[in-house]
Structure formats: C-alpha cells, structure tokens
A and B are shown apart, each in its own frame.
Chain A
C-alpha cells in the first residue's frame, strides 16, 4: 500500500467518482463539482497563457516593430467578451464572423483533397494494388461498398429500382461498419476502466507489480 498522501488523495477521489455506480450521493457530487472547478481553473490559465501571453504579449514585447499587427488579433479577442453584455453583445459578431469565415476558407481545399479526392483515389486504385486474387476480390468488394454507400447518401433521387438495390447494399456495408465501430467502442471503454484499476491495484494498493 502506498504511503504517498498524493496517491491517497487520488485514490479516494477515484472511489468517490465510482460511488455513483451504486447510486447518486453527496460524495460523488462533491467530487464532480471539485473536478469541474479544478478543470475550469486549469483550462482558463492555459487558454489565457497560450492564446494571449504566448501568442501576443511576448512576441510584441520582444519585437513590437515586427509584431504590432497582432494588436488587431487582441482587439478581436477583446470584442469576444462583449458577448457577456446584453447591450453590446452584437460586437462579438465581428470576431465570430472573422474566425468562422477564415476557417471555412482554408478548410475547403485541404478537406477536398484529403477527404474526397484522395479517398476516391484510394478506392479506385485498390484493385490494381491487390497482391493476390483473394485480395483483388476484396478490393472489388471495397469499390462496390464505397459506391453503394455513396448512393445510399444521395437523397436527391428516389431510392427505387437499381438505385434502391444499390442503396440497400450500401446499408449492409454501413451496418457492418457500425458493428465494427460498436466493437471498437466497447474496446475503448473497457480500456479506460483497465487504466483506473491499474492505478488502484498498482499505485495505491501495491497488489500488482
């Protein structure tokens, strides 16, 4: 068993959170609100330090001549806080419009290339890259799957006749994909629990090496 008070604090807080599994109780609510508070404090310090101090204050203090334009970014940032005011909240629309639109601008070419063109390329070249007859069959199944899934998502045409058949095949592929997602989701959740038990049994109780 650990003699480190920090480990004991962590272990007791861990058990306080786990107590919710039996039923909701005040100990859990205390731990939950402690987490909310500490997280909020931690994040606000990091956000301010990283976004304002590191990105604006320090560069401007080091070389104002080269970095004076960052002041406009600071001005936008200050305008964001007008959202807290009912009367002047409209001023926050400027930084929001700037942020959203600038992001949308550079989003388009990168996502078009990575999420659309390269994905289509990967699909169409799969049969050619197959190393064996079995792999080639699988590659054609892949191509058929991608096409049928895309047909399923195309709702501008009624899903009847050949389109309906392709759409139903697409649903089969989607169900297999969602089943795989379900399996991996379970895997991920169990791993998180393994991590906490590892801490309790190893770091706190010393029952495992």
Chain B
C-alpha cells in the first residue's frame, strides 16, 4: 500500500490542490503498519499452538503412502543407502522425517549405510544415527555404518555404482571400509535394495539421474517443501517411487507408522502460520485495491479540474 505516491498539495506547477497527502483513518494505519507488528503476529501464530496444542486430523497423501509401501517392502537384513543431503539451515524441516525413517528402518532390522553429500551433513548424520541406534540397540559396523562426506557429489553418486569401498576407502571415523562387516557383501548399487535421499536441495533429482537412470537404483526421497514441488515429475514418471514433502510429509509418515512426534505436533503451528499468511495476502490486496479506487476517483476529479482550467 505504500507504493501509492501522491504529490503534496500544490507542489507541482499547475496542479490542483488535492486532498491531504497519504490515506487517512484505518486505511492509513494499515498502510503505515510497521513490519515488526507483522513479525510479532507471525511469532504468536507459531508459538500459541505450540503452547496450547490442538490435535488436528492428518490425511495421508498418495506420495507418502507410496513412500511407506517402499519401506515396508524391505525385509530384515536388506541394505539401504541413506543419504543425509542437508545442512543445519533446513534441519527443522528434514530432521522429523529423518528420525521417523531411521526408527522405522532400525525397527524392521534393515541395515543402514549412511553418507552425506554436504559437509554440514556430517554433524547432523552422525548425531541422528547415533541417537536412533541408541534407541534401538544397534551396533556400529554390523547394523549401520556412517561413511561420511565426499566432496563432488556427482562424482560420488556415479562412483558408488562402481564400488562403495573405493568411493569411501575409510568411513567417517577413519576405519577402513574393507574391514567393516556390513560392507562385506555390499559394494555397489546392485547390492542395495533402496536408496533414501533426504535432501534440502536438488540432490534427490540428481540421485534419480545418476544412480537411477544410469545404474537402475530404486529410490525414495524426503525433501524440504521448496524442493518437494520439483519432485512431482520424478514421482509421476516412476523415477522416485515415493517422497515426503516438508513437515506435512513428516507428519503423514509419523501417522502411518504410528509414531507421532515433532511432525504431527508442528501441524498446529503450521496451520496457524499459513492462515496468517493468507490473511496478510488478502488484507494487503484489499487495502491496495481500496487505495487504488480512491486514487482513481481523486484522479478523475483532478482531470475534471484541469479541463476547467484549460477552457
């Protein structure tokens, strides 16, 4: 609403004395609203449902059902390549699904070969794996392994198709991968049942291109909301068998595996935040159009005065 610029009365030569500059009344208040009030409104919209939780029904979408089917199709002893392709900036969106998936994999007795394509993913992956392993009494080296980070993600994705041990000669903790029991019978995509990419960037799409298209690796993904919107084409074409999108995706998956956690708990704040944004968009546009209408009317009156002056 601040973009309506009006000349001060009598400031321009030949201009008719117009109304006082700027809108008046409630429109004026809304037009001059300090953005910090908006910040406060957003903070309250997120905080209040957290402090006074409301349990909302979660409807499962088909892409999350497909994701769940892929995980449930795994048998105990199968090996899954789990890639923590995110950094701390999007932790809040991806940690809930990461924890839910790891819990499900460990509960089913699936062996997890974890890695990351981001340096910041090392700290995250290490912490999430250790926490999940503790919850399920899993042993490093036989139930799970953390290969760590490799620079050059595209080269890594391709190299894994030839040899995991050559791609990661040692794991994140310096232990030779040739000596890790879990990797004794697993050295390339052909030995891996499923690839799970949890990505805060386009990396899931590149996994589909390099691991999927070239080596035929079956995969599912968990993505931030911003990235999930781009996964739909890959899901529809069958390159990615199922995916979780954002916190809602995590909430749906937690509901499916009957493990309500941060995803489900966050839906109240998420809903309130979205309602606030929609209300702000509507309020901003209503104010804009009201201001424009007033401007048009005053403009017509101006034009009428100018015509009088010329005649």
Contacts and interface: CB of A to CB of B under 8 A. Distances in A.
Are A and B in contact, CB atoms below 8 Å, in the complex? yes
Interface stretch (B75-83, B133-141, B144-152, B191-199): B144-152
Nearest to A181: B229
Given A181-B229, A187-B247, A194-B46, A42 B119 contact: yes
Interface in B56-86: none
B237 A191 contact: no
Nearest to B45: A190
A197 to B, nearest CB: 5
Nearest to A178: B229
Contacts of A192: 89-90, 92-93
A39 B234 CA distance: 33
A185 B228 CA distance: 10
A206 interface: no
Nearest to A125: B237
A62 B205 CA distance: 35
B225 A188 contact: yes
B170 A58 contact: yes
A77 to B, nearest CB: 10
B131 to A, nearest CB: 14
Interface residues of A, number: 46
A184 B50 contact: no
Interface stretch (A24-32, A47-55, A82-90, A165-173): A47-55
Given A62-B169, A106-B154, A197 B269 contact: yes
A196 B246 contact: no
B209 A119 contact: no
A46 interface: yes
Interface stretch (B1-9, B101-109, B210-218): B210-218
Tell me the dominant secondary structure on chain A's binding face.
helix
A98 B208 CA distance: 25
Contacts of A111: 209
A107 B247 CA distance: 32
B284 interface: no
Given A110-B213, A111-B209, A195 B91 contact: yes
Interface string A178-209: 00110011111011111111100100000110
Nearest to B122: A46
B111 interface: no
Contact of B224 (A47, A110, A188, A208): A188
A191 B149 contact: no
B237 A59 contact: no
Interface in A105-157: 106-107, 109-111, 113-115, 118-119, 121-122, 126
Interface string B256-277: 0000001000100110011001
Contacts of A72: none
B241 interface: no
Nearest to A21: B39
A110 B92 CA distance: 32
A59 B169 contact: yes
Interface in B169-226: 169-170, 174, 176, 205, 208-210, 212-214, 224-226
Contacts of A59: 169
B233 interface: yes
A191 B93 contact: yes
Interface string A44-71: 0011001100110011001000000000
A185 B226 contact: yes
Contacts of A21: 36, 39
9 contacts: A55-B150, A62-B176, A110-B210, A110-B214, A119-B233, A121-B237, A184-B225, A188-B90, A190-B269
Closest A-B pairs by Cβ, 8 of them: A195-B92, A122-B237, A114-B209, A188-B225, A190-B273, A46-B119, A113-B213, A114-B213
